[in-house]
A = this chain, B = another copy of it.
Amino acid sequence: MSAPALLVPRTRAGIAERLARSAATVQGVHTVTSQVPDWLVQQRRSVGAVVRRIPFAELDHWSFSPGTGNLGHDSGRFFTIEGLHVTRPEAEWQQPIIVQPEIGILGILAKEFDGVLHFLMQAKMEPGNPNLVQLSPTVQATRSNYTKAHGGMEVQYLEHFLAPRREQVLTDVLQSEHGAWFFQKRNRNMIVEVEEDVPVHDAFCWLTLGQILELLRLDNIVNMDARTVLASAPAVPAETRALSSDADLLAWFTGERTRHDVRARLMPLREIAGWQTGEHAVSRIDERFFRVVAVSVEGAGREVAGWTQPIIEPVERGVVGFAYRLFDGVPHVLAHALVEGGFLDTVELAPTVQCVPSNYAPLPAGDRPRFLDVMLDAPPERVRYSTVHSEEGGRFLNAESRYLIVETDEATTPTQPPPGYHWVTPGQLNWLAAHSRYVNVQARTLLAVLDAALRETTAP
């Protein structure tokens, strides 16, 4: 017995094409692209926030637990900083890590103006951003935010993401965040389209994808949350051929997950080896990698008037880059199946290079991260993209990296790469980014700019 029902095509037509049209539109209906950086500066002035480093003792409602030494909020909400013990056959280490099991929403509202999708972006202050205010998704809310654990204001536009009608959702996927600093964190990345008029509140503006891509050429303008949401959006299938089929790519990835035997368990922060706790920082005795510090935020117009919080500060600026080659005319980037202790499952696809070089300065040259010098020594004409971006300013203080896309050759990056590396096309990376935990957050930043960066430089 067959029931009559309104079936729909399994493949929803047109979303990728409409996103591509928006990406090709560099003039928006509402805002002039070149004015956005100044607008962000003005927003920063009007927020008037001051971020100060403070000793842990000045944290308000945050404290080290007497038993475990874990750093947490009195309410039991937000996040904790605990210890992590990672065991691999070839290495073992302990480190502090942010534990925040709840899933936040990173949501961008989209709407057509003059037949072109525009995206409602927010000028948002976050204490860890080097310039405080960056272009952010429409909504960027932890569950504590939107259940108002800290008694703050309403999250504007949140209702569009809590219960959107299905046909409005352009993308909706859980994506991982930094596995070196977060324990198994994931956020919900959404783009939701509205047809009705929505009010444009102060500190919001509509931009086309083309405008956002132009702004992604500038340092520290588009924040991490906006980058990962944009990377999760479906792209128009570009290439039908690649160095390996999609099935072979999955099989290789499965092999990488299997090959790495990673055991990661939380442990008391008090007991981690190789780290020391001072008045101002929890840091490695050899001062590599990162520190846990504390900041106070004063006079901010954010959800609450002011607050203090712990935050993670990397020791220095990082380098994050994809090696890029054309094979038989088809663009490929060299993905790295990278272990990070906080990943929910062993490895994810990372850029070719992802490191803070100074962490390796004390080590013999042979222990330098592979392909790092290919990135650092690239002649200018081979650098297709080079921009400084910072990571999520709510949890990371001045966590800047130079993001690079560098054209390479057979001598530096062979067609048959070393174990753990695999050439993938932008289309394959986009296909995998539609699912959770394939593409790490740094690779997603580069994925967001990949098509635009390659198009500009490879067009005749």
Contacts and interface: CB of A to CB of B under 8 A. Distances in A.
B11 A246 contact: yes
A332 to B, nearest CB: 9
B5 A415 contact: yes
Contacts of A8: 241-245, 248
Interface stretch (A27-35, A283-291, A320-328): A320-328
Interface string A245-269: 1111011101101100101011000
A7 B243 contact: yes
A173 interface: yes
A188 B258 contact: yes
Contacts of A428: 10
Contacts of A102: 261
A31 B436 CA distance: 42
A12 B174 contact: no
A435 B249 CA distance: 12
A18 to B, nearest CB: 13
Contacts of A4: 327-328
Contacts of A330: 7
Contact of A328 (B5, B240, B427): B5
B410 A254 contact: no
A369 interface: no
B250 A188 contact: no
Given A3-B328, A9-B245, A245-B8, A172 B250 contact: yes
Contacts of A243: 5-8
A251 B171 CA distance: 7
A45 interface: no
A236 to B, nearest CB: 14
A12 B7 CA distance: 28
A318 B141 CA distance: 41
Interface in A401-446: 407, 409-410, 415, 425, 427-428, 434-436
A88 B15 CA distance: 36
B250 A7 contact: no
A10 B245 contact: yes
A85 to B, nearest CB: 13
A345 interface: yes
Tell which of A10, A246, A425 has the most Cβ of chain B within 10 Å: A10
B241 A173 contact: no
Interface in A83-101: 101
Nearest to A247: B12
A101 to B, nearest CB: 5
B261 A172 contact: no
A344 interface: yes
A436 B247 CA distance: 14
B328 A7 contact: yes
Contacts of A407: 1
A172 to B, nearest CB: 4
A60 interface: no
Contact of A9 (B3, B10, B241, B252): B241
A361 B202 CA distance: 58
A3 B326 contact: yes
Contact of A10 (B10, B239, B410, B436): B239
A203 interface: no
Tell which of A5, A6, A173, A265 has the most Cβ of chain B within 10 Å: A5
A1 B248 contact: no
A186 B257 CA distance: 11
A20 interface: no
Interface in A363-412: 407, 409-410
A330 B9 CA distance: 12
A75 interface: no
Contacts of A11: 240, 245-246
List 5 A-B pairs, minimum CB-CB distance, nearest first. A172-B251, A2-B326, A5-B327, A7-B241, A12-B245
18 contacts: A1-B407, A1-B409, A2-B329, A3-B328, A4-B328, A8-B242, A8-B243, A8-B245, A11-B240, A11-B246, A12-B245, A15-B247, A143-B261, A166-B248, A167-B248, A169-B247, A171-B251, A173-B254
Given A9-B240, A9-B245, 14 more contacts: A2-B328, A2-B329, A3-B327, A7-B243, A7-B327, A10-B427, A15-B247, A143-B261, A166-B252, A169-B247, A172-B254, A173-B254, A174-B257, A250-B434
